[in-house]
Amino acid sequence: MNLEHKVYNKLLDVPKGHVTTYGDLAKAVGLKNGQRIIGKVMNNNPYPVLIPCHRVVMSTGKIGGYAYGKNVKTKMLSDEGIEITNESIKNFDKKLFVF
């Protein structure tokens, strides 16, 4: 199984209403300091409706980028019950999914 498939499979564990970070997802698939690699994998996600790459955020609680724009990512997260103010997730520590 290649890296992309490992990342996408692991991301499927993150439930609606929760997020993970680029760094935590990297660690979950065995990458040290792999945040940037995870960002590239998320950007190339061929199935954004099925593989919820919008649930991957920055370790600071900021929503980070999204291939379809931050407004779309914010809307998708909001639709899942995540409150966002100034591109930051409210109660980030309570919404963070730990692998």
Q: Which of 28, 29, 53, 56 is catalytic?
A: 53
Q: Does the annotation count 34 as an active-site position? A: no
Backbone angles phi, psi at 85, to 5 degrees: -130, 130
Backbone angles phi, psi at 27, to 5 degrees: -60, -40
Measured between alpha carbons, how far apart are the two ends of the chain, in Å?
Answer: 20
**Residues carrying an active site annotation:** 53
